[in-house]
Amino acid sequence: MSGILCQINRDRYLERWVNVNMINACCLAADENCIFVGGTQGVVRMFRALDLQIITTLPRPHILGLDISQVGQSTFDWHASVYLLR
């Protein structure tokens, strides 16, 4: 497992790097505080943007997925998806 998350400064020098330990990292989301790296098999790791320290690995989604017949309302913005179950 591999995958490197790098922090490069304004002079284009590598300041920090961390191995994300994923088979295949396929998405990235970031803001001024956190960086989220998503990979295969539902793995999502959260890093602190300042120093690339790992904060947590989010729990994987339920193996059977979401029962969409139970979803009464859903909303989405660029920060979160919210499902209200009946």
Ranges of each domain in the chain: 2-85
Q: What pTM was computed for the model?
A: 0.66
pLDDT tens per residue across span 31-78: 999 999 998 888 899 999 999 999 999 887 766 666 656 655 555 455
pLDDT at position 3: 82
| Residue 4, pLDDT above cutoff 50 | yes
Query: Which residues on neighbouring strands pair with residue 8, listed in sequence order?
Result: 14
- What's the burial of 7, exposed, middle or buried (CB within 10 Å: 0-12/13-18/19+)? middle
The Cα 20–Cα 5 span in angstroms is 7
Tokens of 46: 């959260």
**pLDDT class of 82 with cuts at 50, 70, 90:** very low
The widest CA-to-CA distance across the chain, in whole angstroms, is 53
Mean pLDDT, rounded, for 1-19: 88
Selected residue with higher pLDDT from 3 and 62: 3
Give CATH for domain 2-85.
Answer: 2.40.10
Closest CA to 29 of 85, 84, 75, 81: 81
Q: Which amino acid is at 26?
A: C
